[in-house]
Structure 1
């Protein structure tokens, strides 16, 4: 099997006029992308950014991000992802806390002193990357030294809340990425073969590259020699047009996007070439999957995975759907080849089939490799036929359309407002997104009522868009238990009363 690193090396054998990445309606050739790759590589080399050096990238869905990925990974550097969906102060906090040697971003970021000044003070070298122009904006002539673990070198560091605990930066090694690719090919029975680069079926990247789904989509496409359609953001029209134009047989849709396609009533003929849809950024309702299949005749291959695993570790295939779906609907499928799963109680005792407990995974895709078990924050059970069911979460995280929200992060942002004394945030079920955050606040004594829109505007400078609560309720005092913790049951009763009074 041709691996990821070998596939990146093979890119330079591609004719320059070969179409590689489509942005909007415009194709960018390998020659155009190569020019950006080589310019980034030259500048990184000039400042001493060699094998094992960590390079942060504000990873928007644009061709420069694809070029940066190639320039970094093909030379054995480490790609450290920075989330463009976050407000600038959060990006800076992430970058300064992670301390990469170099940060790459578009010129608009470097024009913002709130972005540039703290990174310069931290001793980071920074480059503006816009098309083939790569211009140093901060830092000196040489980067700080950065070693590499030759035993198990890291390829990517992703800041994620993941499934295995509180928010943290996840290192993904080359071993994990190669194992993930092998697992996918073992699951689907497909691979690169002897294909000339960018002559395979088109790959549609509709998820953000800063999400493991989007980043893995690009990496897998490069490994499988497939041209890429890169959507800056998901739109129903853009997604459906790309599927129709390129006669795609497989495409991905998270559940929120699946619902949007159904609500938009996209004509069946637009999706006539599709043979399956993959979905797996968050819980996929079997009712939603059945509704989509009934409308379009396209089976939904639900997957289960996480950043910590370098992607999916379990899922459905078309043959599995044909044989088992009616009996196993609600499952996220079976473990991939080479993946073992078990369910344990809080003491680590392995539970029997059908019992719900904490899911643990052992796989070459985990950080420690085969033989060790990684405990997730997911509650689940395995049935007698080896199908995995996710029954809930062991923590209080809110998963909104595939993005994990820590309630305390939102509470802290609300508490930063001068009129807010305290806050509580919980997840409310949502048919389209799975869950959405709702906040309840208690005001400082004597403070005037705070307008909800004003609060949301305040939060936009501190939170990502998906973290902002859909509703913010004000109460005289948050209900508390004898231990002074917020009493969730009484809180929900209060909110129910507030919302009932509106109708």
Structure 2
């Protein structure tokens, strides 16, 4: 974000969006306008600024302005229904909300924003104007040292807010290799950002471009032709694809010459099956470098590098890679003590990217094992485990069994509350395009073949598409609702 404060060429290309370029001059102009409104309102260092953050250049400028001025960016998701967004604005208690006109026109949103404090309307052209409200002195609660209050993706329940400090963001960028070159103010290289800016993967990608002076190709969301066109047009050497998007590229049979510039594809946000990464490499000769991280760590703390992949992938396929510089990983048992290599347990991370700092081990919700060569294998989430009448059911185990069926593209499993047993496993499967959906009886029989009796789901539904969050992870909340509806119709 330091580039906002430096004398960069105003006409230089900064952000490509919808077929047009925003220059650095335009980015800086919007940033200055936002800062001017905040200064005039008396909101100084540490002030919390709510931004309904969309994948648009003007929104990138606003986020950069807030962070560069050492205020606190409170992300508000435009992907929420209007009622939930209004409630989120009220719950955050921010003294100022920045959003575009379309968002403010949603029922109840402008009212909630006005009730909290000042409302700034952001135009598509980057113009900023006051749209109502006024700041109440008792609403100005500062968050010194906190750079971002960010929503998690909400895969296992209502989204929660994670507080990320400036030090965490800086460490996350450095650990990810996003360091500006000392002799080069702006870079001619470019990166695609298609994940939602309101989540860590999208925001991290945008900040990396701003921090290094790299051009940004900003997309509203992943779209196959737009992504391929950007790779082809800019001759990109590195691009990112979440597992579902990797599969989309493969199934679309994109000609290899259109991706010829790519050396590697990075993949995060969700576990990437080894067979999918191998299929992509086999078809295009492009290595898939998976990463492991979390919102709480302001990015990735482990993953694959190209040298690691070239040396180890044949022996470690399916691993999430090794700890990145500045991070340490260990696995502990139920007693909190570190377990021997190769033993499963709870993954813990020690890194400067954590809120606790580099001197404390942070216990994650992930089950994992670390082998003698330092490679970590993610085996599911501890908080996903379903306790069925005293027996533990790991959703990942049931998921793998269902995915052995040739007509099942992907499966998802969740725990449904049960009055007698506490919880029971239920599942949904996404059917391969062009394949006939397997019957429930067929899938139950398959599970009985591969699983213990208590692991077999009590209900299974077949779907064209699994319900997903904006970051393309399966939403367990919606999954339970879909399964309930499915078996209610048959009752």
Partner residue of 1:487? none
Q: 1:391 aligns with which of 374, 379, 382?
A: 379
2:79 aligns with one of 81, 85, 110: 85
Distance 2:304 2:429 in 1: 25
CA shift in 2, pair 1:363/1:323, >3 Å: same
Aligned partner of 1:276 among 244, 248, 264: 264
**Match for residue 125 of structure 1?**
118
TM-score with structure 1 setting the length: 0.77
Query: Is 2:176 the partner of 1:184?
Result: yes
> Does 1:97 pair with 2:106?
no
Which residue is equivalent to 2:5?
A: 9
Check conservation: 1:38, 1:71, Cα contact below 8 A. yes
Question: Per the alignment, do residues 200 and 25 of structure 1 end up closer, same or farther by CA in structure 2, a change over 3 Å counting?
Answer: same
2:350 aligned with 1:350: no
Matched, 1:174 2:174: no
CA distance in 1, matches of 2:51, 2:289: 31
> Retained in 2: the 8 A contact 1:195–1:225?
no
Deviation at 1:167, TM superposition (A): 4.4
Alignment of 1:352-501 (within 5 A): 352-396=340-384, 426=426, 428=428, 468-469=478-479, 471-474=482-485
What is the CA–CA distance in structure 2 between the aligned matches of 1:430 and 1:343, rounded to whole Å? Answer: 33
Could you state the TM-score of these two structures normalised by the residue count of structure 2? 0.79
SS at match of 2:108: helix
2:299 aligned partner: 311
CA contact (8 A) 2:297 2:353 kept: yes
Matched, 1:135 2:129: yes
Compute the displacement of 1:126 (Å): 1.3
Q: Aligned pair count?
A: 423
Higher mean C-alpha displacement, 107-116 vs 80-89? 107-116
- 1:115 maps to what in 2? 109
Q: Alignment partner of 1:395: what SS?
A: helix
Q: Partners in 2 of 1:226 and 1:280 — Cα distance? A: 21
1:47 maps to 2:35: no
With 28-37 and 268-277 compared, the bigger mean Cα shift is at 28-37
1:481 is matched with which residue? none
- 1:168 is displaced (CA, Å) by 2.2
* In 1, Cα distance between equivalents of 2:180 and 2:236: 17
Higher RCO (CA < 8 A, seq sep 6+)? 1
In structure 2, C-alpha distance between the alignment counterparts of 1:60 and 1:165, rounded to whole Å: 22
Q: Which moved further from structure 2: 284-293 or 61-70?
A: 61-70
- What secondary structure is seen at the aligned counterpart in 1 of 2:213? coil
Tell me, which stretches of 5 or more residues in structure 2 are unaligned? 386-394, 400-411, 418-422, 433-460, 462-468
CA distance in structure 2 between the partners assigned to 1:204 and 1:42 by the alignment: 30
Instruction: Give the corresponding residue for 1:445.
Output: none
Q: Is the 8 A contact 2:117 2:136 kept in 1?
A: no
Task: For residue 347 of structure 1, give the secondary structure of its aligned residue in structure 2.
Answer: coil
Question: For 1:136-173, what per-residue CA distance to the aligned partner results, in whole angstroms no more than 9, with x for missing partners?
Answer: 22321666333343xxx111110115799984210110
Q: 1:42: how far off?
A: 1.1
Q: Secondary structure at the match of 1:278?
A: strand
Partner-residue secondary structure (3-state), 2:46: coil
Using a 3 Å threshold, how does the CA distance of structure 1 residues 96 and 427 change in structure 2: closer, same or farther?
A: farther
Paired position in structure 2 for 1:340: 328
SS of alignment partner, residue 373 of structure 2: coil
Question: Which sections of structure 1, spanning at least 5 residues, go unmatched?
Answer: 412-422, 433-451, 453-459, 478-494
Segment of structure 1 superposing worse, 57-66 or 468-477: 468-477
Q: Is the 8 A contact 1:72 1:79 kept in 2?
A: yes
Counterpart for residue 52 of structure 2? 58
CA shift digits 1:286-338 (9 cap, x unpaired): 00000000011000001000000000000101110111001100100000112
Give yes or no for contact 2:153–2:199 (8 Å, CA) kept in 1. no
* 8 Å contact from structure 1 (residues 8, 223) kept in 2: no
Residue 297 of structure 1: aligned partner: 285
Contact 1:162 1:307 in 2 (8 A): no
Q: How many Å separate the matches in 1 of 2:67 and 2:486?
A: 51
Alpha carbon RMSD of aligned pairs, Å? Answer: 3.2
Partner of 2:227: 239
TM-fit CA distance, 1:25: 1.2
- 1:24 maps to 2:24: no
Q: Equivalents in 2 of 1:326, 1:113: separation in Å?
A: 54
Contact 2:95–2:135 under 8 Å retained in 1: no
* CA–CA distance in structure 2, aligned partners of residues 17 and 335 of structure 1: 40
> For residues 214-257 of structure 1, what are the alpha-carbon distances to aligned partners after superposition, in whole Å with 9 as ceiling and x for unaligned?
10001111111101100011100000000000000000000000
Aligned partner of 1:331 among 305, 319, 322: 319
**Pair 1:476–1:57, CA change in 2 (3 A):** closer
Whether contact under 8 Å (1:250, 1:274) holds in the other structure is yes
